[in-house]
Each structure stands twice: as C-alpha cells, then as structure tokens.
A = this chain, B = another copy of it.
Amino acid sequence: SKRYTITLLPGDGIGPEVISVATNVLKLAGSLEGIEFKFQEMPVGGAALDLTGVPLPEETLSAANKSDAVLLGAIGGYKWDKNEKHLKPETGLLQLRAGLKVFANLRPATVLPQLVDASTLKKEVAVGVDLMVVRELTGGIYFGEPRGFSTNENGEEIGFNTEVYATHEIDRIARVAFETARKRHGKLCSVDKANVLEASILWRKRVTAIASEYPDVELSHMYVDNAAMQLVRNPKQFDTIVTNNIFGDILSDEASMITGSIGMLPSASLGESGPGLFEPIHGSAPDIARQDKANPLATVLSAAMLLKYGLGEENAAKRIETAVLDTLSRGYRTGDIYSDGNKLVGCKEMGEEVLKSV
C-alpha cells in the first residue's frame, strides 16, 4: 500500500474545524484506494504567532518541505490585525508560498447545479460557469524589490513597491496554464495591463511565445479592467485564465463570488517539484469560529485537489468530489449555502454526511 506524509496547518479561526473534517474524509477516501497517510500538524499564522512569536516557524516550513503535500485551513483574525507587517499572519502565508516555491495557484470557480441559486447573478448568466484561474503566486508586486518607505525630494514620506517579472517566471506559469487549459476546454485567456505597464508587455510577449508549444490551445489576451467587467457580464466565456499575482488575487476572488458559494471553493498551489499547498479560498471567519457553523466543503475539495494535483491519486480524488456532490444532492447544507427545503447542518454533521458518501 502507498504511504504519504501530509502536513496539516489548521491555522486560525475556522481553520481547525474544517481541517479536522477534511482529514477524516482524506483518511477514508485513501483507505478505500489502498493509501495510508501519516499526518503531522504544525502551527502557522496567528496560532504560530501566539505560540512562537513568528507567523511561520522554521520547523513548520521544514516539516512542510519534507512532506508529500500540505493542507492549510485558514489564517488571520482581528487579534493580529494591528501587528507590524513582519508579524502579521498574512506574512506567514506569503513566506510559506515562497518557502515551498509554489508559483502556480489554481483556483477553480464552478457554479454547481445544486447551488446555482446562491449566485447573485441571474440564473441564465450563472448556470454552467466553470472556469479556472491560474494565478502566479511567488512573484510580481507581492515580492518585488525594492519596496518600503522613504522620503522624496520634497521631504515627504513615500511608500513604494515593485511589480517585476523575469522571463522564466512568466514562462513557467504560462506552461502550467497551457497544460491546464489543454486538460479543460482548450481555451486560455491571459490577463494583463499591457497598454500601460512594461511588466505586462513582457508578460504578453512571453505568453505569446510559449503558445507555440501548445498549438492545440486557443490563446487570447484581455486587459485586467475588461476582465473584471467580462466576469460580471458573461463569465461563461472563460475556460482558463492566467494572470499575475495581484491581478489574480483580485480576479479569482471576483470569480469565486460569482459562483455565490465561496465556502465551496478549493485551491491548489504547485511548484516545479516538491510538495504542493492546498487550501480553501475563504478566510478564517473569526466571527463564526468554534461554533460548528463553518462550511468544511472547500477544505474537503482542497483535499481532493491534494490527491489529484499533489499526489496523482485521481481515483481517491474522484471519490471525494463525488461524495461532496452526492451530499449536496441529498440536501445537506451549512448556513452559508442554505436555501429553503434543504437540511441545515453544522460543520461536523456535514463532515459525517460526506463520509457516508465517500
């Protein structure tokens, strides 16, 4: 039987609750496919700050790097909001992404037939939306140097950051995006601001160059402001979107809200080699933490992405995906996706129902 070591990073807020559910689902789906897991739990984010004084302890990163995949709950909370930048939970997450070298962030946004009413978009606009945002995750303005505070020639304070991309950074994310589009519906839309930014001009040039390796994928380009509009006007026009770190942050959140159920959406962050990082796209929701109200399905589906993209265990992944759809079809709903005629359940009970369907 196959054995994998999984690093669990529950983090803050609802993180521990949803990780606990996802771990049970992962165990069961694995065992049915002859897979055994060793789980190691480590602190990150606010939890790590309280325990060790830093948002990403060295032990956490090295344990994560030595494991086969990393499953993260959520990070952040009011308690640490006023911390200085290097002591923010968010900084721990950025250090984790950089430390694992996971440059490719895959964020699917799918409107499930069972949940189409949850979208604020009209039914005819929302039905059938099924897109994937491929976001560059370890470059651009998030990490660009120089950055900081300084004084300008008038003695005034300035704050500055650098948006910068090198050829190889664009090439490798473009390849991931073309591969992703190839496995989907063969359409890739690259989003940039090449009418204004030099970093985007290079982005467009390199994505266009890499396209010649993928003649079967249809490539288009779109400016980011237009993309933000088109996601609202007609999200069905998109199959796969590839974009830089900051535009990807904005557009993937917009796309997720278009599905109306961000409590349902998983993500995968992958590198050239080494373990991938898998996490729900929702936040730590401190206001409902420890009340058994959280929707664990985004984390359960992140565990499915972990199996599929992280370990290549497609069968076990499929089991989980099918179990989630089945549980929804049987009418189980947490509060965030509840609608009349369904059965309202808490985080734990939702987990038990998914287990029944695995």
Contacts and interface: CB of A to CB of B under 8 A. Distances in A.
Interface of A: 85, 88, 90, 94, 120-122, 125, 141-142, 144, 147-149, 152, 154, 156-168, 193, 195-203, 224-226, 228-234, 246-247, 249-254, 256-258, 262
A147 B193 contact: no
A348 B147 CA distance: 52
Contact of A94 (B156, B196, B229): B196
A311 to B, nearest CB: 29
Contacts of A160: 144, 162-165, 198-199
Contacts of A224: 249-250
Given A122-B122, A157-B202, 6 more contacts: A120-B232, A158-B166, A163-B163, A225-B249, A228-B228, A254-B254
7 contacts: A120-B234, A149-B201, A156-B168, A159-B199, A161-B198, A193-B246, A247-B250
Contacts of A154: 166, 168
Across the A-B interface, give the 9 residue pairs with the lowest CB-CB distance, nearest first. Answer: A159-B202, A229-B257, A160-B164, A228-B254, A225-B253, A159-B199, A232-B257, A159-B198, A90-B195
Contact of A228 (B158, B165, B199, B253): B253
Nearest to A196: B142
A231 B94 CA distance: 26
Nearest to A200: B159
